[in-house]
Chains A and B, each alone.
Chain A
């Protein structure tokens, strides 16, 4: 283990905010994961119809771009993080080794597929998974992965291939070190700046919304429309897996449930306490209920997905039964839920923006 102080590993819902929380905790600054996520302007919605996600369906992002939480937190809490996408893995490794040998844990962004300690359903080719490297013994690295219950081991070969994939959207050879903690945290300023930014990104101005119909609340509406097309666009295992894994992705794959909305509710609640704001407290409760509603919609997705047969060869026979109509009807209902969720979020983030500006 690095340094004199033993590294305290804590699990978290989300890899990036969890890794930042763990690194700060090691340095002596204890901030909750929800606060890191909120200050990092985490909540978002992107329906990237042009990119395929791990579920086999187009990629849906329910948080901001990988790496942005880290950068936003650094700027807004005045934390001296240095981050760099190194040109080569050798260069990144040399830097990481120097830090680890000096007792300094670092954050790396890797492809989750090569994290062999994770269960198979999480081992997907997602090259934007954040971990803390907190020690090494020769070519074996000690990894603090917020998804895993304890510290894990990763050998050099796996780290190398996971760190530099050249994949689309990958943060290849990304390394982050903590150089300086702030003398004091200006919570009010940080909460105001972060929350207003989230509100602006979720509810784009009408003209921009038309130009970028896959972003923010408009993205949710576009996604809801696309959802009703799934039975025509996909068939067999692809359709079943796509529906089921969309729900698992919203809930159990590092979001804290309700596509990060429950975690954001927790952040707003914490912000309300820090700033003694009843208005924010009320909005926190609304966001938490919204997160629970999202969770219920995910359960509906699961029920609909299960109607599709598991075996590819049974699909043609199934397609002639009354089941496809039930799937179409179910997806129609879920699309309605997403449209209502978009309407809610549009109103909510407008109200939240006004409330925070008034603080």
Chain B
């Protein structure tokens, strides 16, 4: 798993349909394709997510959480939701959130977690930071178990890209 070192940036070109009273001057609301008003907040949200990613990464390295816990918290999910999706008891998922409990998860369970988090099983076992000037392209195979990682100088790939 490549840990991004920069926050996402909100796409300035992103447009949404808002119902706006003033736009047509009739006093009634009509749909208008426009910028999201809160695009600054969306950028702030991305910065917060980046900080959260850094914090969770630190916890992971310190052994305070497991890779399953890392992704669960990063994606704002809770144990009950993940347990239902996994068809497991919440207690089992809770156990997998600790490094010790994670070691007892089966490959099949990891494959199901990976599907939910939209990562590959390999992403649970390696976390890398990428320095400036290097681009990384990560591809997962159809099984979701293996990954192919291409490293290249910037300009010949796209950083942190997965497909």
Contacts and interface: CB of A to CB of B under 8 A. Distances in A.
Given A121-B46, A165-B85, A310-B51, A284 B33 contact: no
Interface string B36-50: 111001101111110
B31 A244 contact: no
A252 B76 contact: no
Interface in A165-206: 165-168
A291 B19 contact: yes
A209 B59 CA distance: 45
A237 interface: yes
Contact of B29 (A120, A157, A288): A288
Nearest to B15: A149
B80 interface: yes
* Majority secondary structure of chain A interface residues (helix, strand, loop or mixed): helix
Contact of B51 (A119, A166, A312): A312
Given A125-B81, A167-B85, A266-B31, A252 B38 contact: yes
A114 B115 CA distance: 10
Given A262-B21, A291-B19, A113 B45 contact: no
A119 B21 contact: no
B16 A241 contact: no
Task: Give the most central of A121, A166, A262: most B CB within 10 Å.
Answer: A121
B19 A251 contact: no
B150 to A, nearest CB: 19
B142 to A, nearest CB: 8
B8 interface: yes
B106 interface: no
B10 interface: yes
A212 B75 CA distance: 31
B100 interface: no
Interface in A141-180: 146-147, 149, 157, 161, 165-168
A237 B45 contact: no
Contact of B42 (A34, A121, A124): A121
A248 B19 contact: no
A119 B29 contact: no
Nearest to B50: A310
Nearest to B49: A120
Given A125-B75, A240-B48, A312-B55, A288 B27 contact: yes
Contacts of A288: 21, 27-29
A11 interface: yes
A166 B84 contact: yes
Contacts of A353: none
A216 interface: no
Q: Which 10 A-B pairs have the closest CB atoms?
A: A262-B19, A269-B28, A13-B17, A256-B19, A252-B36, A266-B29, A262-B29, A257-B18, A265-B29, A288-B29
Given A121-B46, A147-B16, A251-B38, 15 more contacts: A11-B15, A119-B11, A165-B85, A166-B85, A244-B44, A247-B41, A248-B38, A257-B18, A263-B29, A266-B30, A284-B28, A291-B19, A291-B21, A302-B38, A310-B48
